[in-house]
Amino acid sequence: MAAWWTDVYAARFSQMFDGGPVARWGFRPEWPGPELDICAFPAASGGRVFCSLGLTHYAGQLGEIAEVMLSVERGWESTPALLARTLFRAVEERVALRPGLALECAEEVRPGIGRRGLYLSLPEVPLRRLCSVHHAGWTGWILRASLISAQDGAYLLRHGRGSFEALLARRPERRLTT
């Protein structure tokens, strides 16, 4: 996918969080391919929101033009690597990114976070209007990732997506903006 998508998403994230990132890390895949950046923005809860930039380069493998954001209260040091490695695994396995999808976290960084996976959804209603990104006749998406435990995964399977997303909405790390 064209490199300009990264600039389009960077502008959208800056719009969503009223300014540029407070930090930015670059990650390379284990195969020849474009770098994936993870940017950190301040969250309303006092935590950080980590956003991918460059996932759009892999739209062919993922079936969508999309970037992902993850809100975290603590464990910031390992979060950029967790997000990048998990997204690279999705690219490698050609997982179709979509709301309602649970991804297993990358093994090597799981202990620092205490969660087993990422659950993808659309941002809540106030931000939902900003989650579709339009440029040059194409539409891309911003997917919201939430860290989930094995118990969360079992709840998701038992009660379904709607009930699970209602449960996630009550967690303090879900507040993205002030």
- Tens of pLDDT, residue by residue over 106-118, are 654 445 556 678 8
Average pLDDT in the chain: 83
Q: Compute how many other C-beta atoms are within 10 angstroms of the C-beta atom of residue 22.
A: 11
pLDDT band at 178 (very low <50, low <70, confident <90, very high): very low
**Ramachandran region of residue 93, left (φ > 0), alpha (ψ -120 to 50) or beta?**
alpha
**Among 7-11, 81-85, 94-98, 113-117, whose mean pLDDT is lowest?**
113-117
* H runs (alpha helix) in the chain: 4-16, 59-62, 79-92, 110-113, 125-128, 150-159, 161-169
pLDDT (0 to 100) of residue 110: 44
pLDDT tops 90 at residue 49: yes
pLDDT tops 90 at residue 34: yes
pTM: 0.85
CB-based contact 164:152 (threshold 8 Å):
yes
